[in-house]
Amino acid sequence: MALWGGRFSGAASDLFKQFNDSLPVDFRLLEQDITGSMAWARALTQVDVLSEQECARLTEALTQILKEFENNTAVMLASGAEDIHSFVESQLILKVGDLGKKLHTGRSRNDQVATDLKLWCKAQAEETLKLLIKLQQDMINLAQRESDSVLPGYTHLQRAQPITFGHWSLAYVEMIERDITRLKDAYERLDVCPLGSGALAGTAYPIDRQALAHSLGFRQATNNSLDAVSDRDHVVELCSAAATSMMHLSRMAEDLIFYNSGEANFIELSDSVTSGSSLMPQKKNPDALELIRGKAGRVYGALMGILTTMKALPMAYNKDMQEDKEGLFDVMDTWAICLKMASKVVEGMKVNKAAALAAAQQGYANATELADYLVSKGMPFREAHHVVGEVVVFAIEQQKALEDFTLQELQKFSDIIQSDVYQHLTIDACLDKRNVQGGTSLKQIQNALNDKIVPVEQPNLSSTQLRLNAHKAEMLQVRAARLSDVDSITQIVAHWTNKGETLPRPRDTVLRDILDFAVAEKDGEVVGCASLYIYGTGLAELRSVAIDENHHGHGQGKALVDYMLNKATELELQRLIVLTRAPEFFAKVGFTETDKETLPEKVMKDCDLCPRQHACDEVAMEYVLS
């Protein structure tokens, strides 16, 4: 069923339908569309468009749709729906009848698709961040392992000065760090919620858009409805961040392809990332690296595609913008698989130290050291540069290394050269002299590693996980719960239920009420939860406030209560109540004791679930909101 058929007396042609429909691409937004629809149902309830019972029925039906179709793509695609929004709405109507038609009140597909896509982008950015940090840690590990393995450095693909594999690895650590910061910057800007912007002018219903944004896990709501539905900067920025990162991966791939060649023979790639030739049995081809290098082009193409699509569009939504998702989805998929493959390559790579060292000793890589030596004796650099050039010409004619000349032979070019020159021409001397910050000396490499290495104080966490946690902690602290948090919330609540400290909340209940929950994250891990259950005008109960036992004492509980108090204020609630066995904690955040007898009967009805109902030791407390 089309969402717009009333205006038309004739049916769309099959060709137009095939050309127009986006479900074959945007079916990937199923979870996001359902999450957004649940939040919108709650928002409509708060402005009396829906009753509490209607909201509960819609939420339950939406939950069922997700369960039925999240792993059943074939049925979705065979449905004939125009897009993911019409698919979800048609399924909803099948389950709840005309009630399903009420959900779209005050909402447009324009703000709906913008919200869905931003939710997807946020989740995808978080997953990509993990992969970037994993690869960065792999490069740090390689730098540690090969910190003193000598490698010829190149400019113009000509041997220039000796470096180490550690120094080479750390160069890509720096590139990946910039990739990480670019992704986090993009995340910060896309973390605003368009829902409630309507088609372009805003919704006619008095929706609290800030509260709506928080319920979906966004930092805030967008400030302009026209911009909100027109904006695809987040698609451009993610594609741009991916293109820059893929450029780095492609350069690394090119380096390693060359290092792996028979001419260089500096490294050997693992069998798990290489292939053979159908004709030449001796070959071992670096296919993984070549594909990384090749796939950079398709990412660049998608970036240019979205920029070109958006460059001349008039304001508000245009159907051209339907083309945003196919390229973006491919970009994020390609970026992810290339990051995974790059990690696999680095993990299994072996360095041929002898071959790399021999190459570094050839090609007169120590010529700059001889020039510096002459400068240290008082010769102007330009003159020293000329003198050493003559020495190299002679060395090439004689097919000798600079350090193999006798003192008398070297003194033919300058009589200020003395016997101490030889200590400056060794590989170790070449490396050690580069002892400035960022240099290739072993001391500077160790200093750089010391800055990058994360101390592993927690035995169950790797350096990679700790590095990821540090970045994710910057991105999220306390936020609205998402569907992906259901298991974590259920586990935390179940732990304290088993200890008799809180009422049971089965997984199905948590899933149904997920929009009522907020979670606390510490170092990227869900460590606490709380829910806000609204009884009626002006009254709500703070429920299921629970912190993982291993994370007590770090302020997560207070942060959760503060978050819920802010949410209650945004919802214009008048009173927040809690039944607790920890009155001291709630007193510290402003709650005061109250008589249980003053609480509404439906609040106390929840106590029927409590095994201690006949010997209750909970204290009733309230927070009066001004």
- Residues annotated as catalytic are 156, 277
DSSP 11: P
Q: How far apart are CA 26 and CA 45, in angstroms?
A: 28
What is the DSSP code string of 424-458? GSSHHHHHHT--STT-SSHHHHHHHHHHHPPP--S
Q: What is the CA radius of gyration of the chain?
A: 32
Q: How far apart are CA 233 and CA 231, in angstroms?
A: 6
Q: Collapse the DSSP code of 90 into the 3-class scheme (helix H, G, I; strand E, B; otherwise coil) and give the result.
A: helix
Dihedral pair phi/psi, residue 441, rounded to 5°:
-65, 155
Query: CA 137 → CA 142, 334, 453, 454, distances in Å?
Result: 9, 20, 9, 10
Q: How far apart are CA 559 and CA 479, in angstroms?
A: 10
For 126, left (φ over 0), alpha (ψ -120 to 50), or beta?
Answer: alpha
Q: How far apart are CA 304 and CA 235, in angstroms?
A: 11
**Which has the closest alpha carbon to 245: 183, 165, 170?**
183
Q: Collapse the DSSP code of 578 into the 3-class scheme (helix H, G, I; strand E, B; otherwise coil) and give the result.
A: strand
As to burial, measured by CB atoms within 10 angstroms (0-12 exposed, 13-18 middle, 19+ buried), residue 584 is exposed
Q: Please, what sign has the CA dihedral across residues 388, 394, 397, 399?
A: negative
Q: How far apart are CA 152 and CA 161, in angstroms?
A: 6
Distance of CA 163 to the CA centre of its chain: 33
Q: How far apart are CA 267 and CA 260, in angstroms?
A: 5
Query: CA 610 → CA 541, 599, 622, distances in Å?
Result: 16, 17, 20
Residues near 77 by beta carbon (within 8 Å), at least 6 away in sequence: 23, 24, 27
- Count CA atoms within 13 Å of residue 422 on its CB side: 9
Contact at 8 Å (CB) between 165 and 149? yes
User: How do strand 478-480 and strand 517-522 relate by DSSP bridges?
Assistant: antiparallel
Distance of CA 79 to the CA centre of its chain: 32
Q: Collapse the DSSP code of 399 into the 3-class scheme (helix H, G, I; strand E, B; otherwise coil) and give the result.
A: coil
Residues near 298 by beta carbon (within 8 Å), at least 6 away in sequence: 330, 334
Q: How far apart are CA 233 and CA 310, in angstroms?
A: 9
Q: Please, what sign has the CA dihedral across residues 279, 281, 283, 287?
A: positive
Q: How far apart are CA 434 and CA 370, in angstroms?
A: 14
Q: Collapse the DSSP code of 142 into the 3-class scheme (helix H, G, I; strand E, B; otherwise coil) and give the result.
A: helix
